[in-house]
C-alpha cells in the first residue's frame, strides 16, 4: 500500500462538476492499493499518517502532526501509484489491485483513518474521473510505502 501525503492549505475533489470533499489545513492523501495489501498495512499506514510530524509548530519547525493541528484529510484512490515503468514508455498497472480487492481495502483505510483522527475524512469516489485541486503548503509531499517501512 502506498500513499502520497501532501500537506495542504486547502484541497478539494470534484466529480462531474460537483464538489465531493473539501478541506482547509490538513492532508490530501493519494492511496494506491496492491493485491497483497492487508488490514495490517492499513493499521500501520493510518497510525503513521495521523502522527507524522510534518506541520509547523509555533516556531515554524515541522514538529506537529495532523492530530496536533486538528487538521482534516481527504483520501483519494490512485491506482497509478503502482505504475511499473521499467519497460517502454507506457506504464503498466499490473501491480494495482483489482476493484473487488481494492474497494473494500479503500473503505477500511478511510474508516481506520477516521478512528485515528477522531473525525470524518473526506473522500473521492473509487474509479471515478475526479478533479483534485490543492494548494500544497510548503510544499511538503511525502511518499510512504507499507512494504518499505523506513
pLDDT at position 2 = 96
Catalytic residue, from 80, 85, 109, 123: name it. Answer: 80
Look at residues 118, 104, 124, 100 and name the one whose alpha carbon lies nearest to residue 42: 104
pLDDT of res. 94: 87
pTM above 0.75, yes or no: yes
Give the pLDDT confidence of 68-90 residue by residue, as tens digits. 999 999 999 999 998 889 888 99
85 is catalytic: no
Report long-range pairs for 84-88 (Cβ below 8 Å, ≥24 apart): none
Q: What is the mean pLDDT of the chain?
A: 95
Q: What is residue 87's predicted lDDT score, i.e. its pLDDT?
A: 87
Task: Give yes or no: 80 in active site.
Answer: yes
Catalytic residue among 79, 123, 126, 141: 79
HEC letters along 86-125 = CCCCCCECCCECCHHHHHHHHHHHHHHHHHHHCCCCEECC
C-alpha cell at 99: 476493484
Query: What does the pLDDT look like over 28-58, one tens digit per residue?
Result: 999 999 999 999 999 999 999 999 999 999 9
CB-based contacts of 89, cutoff 8 Å, min separation 6 = none
Please confirm, yes or no, whether 123 is among the known catalytic residues: no
From the candidates 6, 78, 109, 123, which is the catalytic residue?
78
CATH of domain 2-145: 3.50.80.10
Amino acid at each position: 500500500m502506498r500513499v502520497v501525503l501532501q500537506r495542504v492549505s486547502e484541497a478539494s475533489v470534484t466529480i462531474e462538476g460537483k464538489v465531493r470533499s473539501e478541506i482547509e489545513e490538513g492532508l490530501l492523501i493519494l492511496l494506491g492499493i496492491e493485491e497483497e495489501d492487508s488490514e495490517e498495512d492499513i493499521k500501520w499506514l493510518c497510525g503513521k499518517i495521523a502522527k507524522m510530524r510534518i506541520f509547523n509548530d509555533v516556531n515554524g519547525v515541522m514538529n506537529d502532526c495532523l492530530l496536533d493541528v486538528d487538521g482534516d484529510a481527504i483520501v483519494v484512490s490512485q491506482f497509478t501509484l503502482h505504475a511499473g515503468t521499467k519497460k517502454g514508455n507506457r506504464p503498466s498497472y499490473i501491480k494495482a489491485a483489482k476493484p473487488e480487492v481494492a474497494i473494500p481495502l479503500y473503505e477500511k483505510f478511510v474508516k481506520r483513518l477516521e478512528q485515528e483522527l477522531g473525525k470524518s475524512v473526506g473522500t473521492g469516489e473509487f474509479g471515478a474521473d475526479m478533479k483534485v485541486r490543492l494548494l500544497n503548503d510548503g510544499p511538503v509531499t511525502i511518499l510512504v510505502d507499507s512494504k518499505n517501512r523506513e
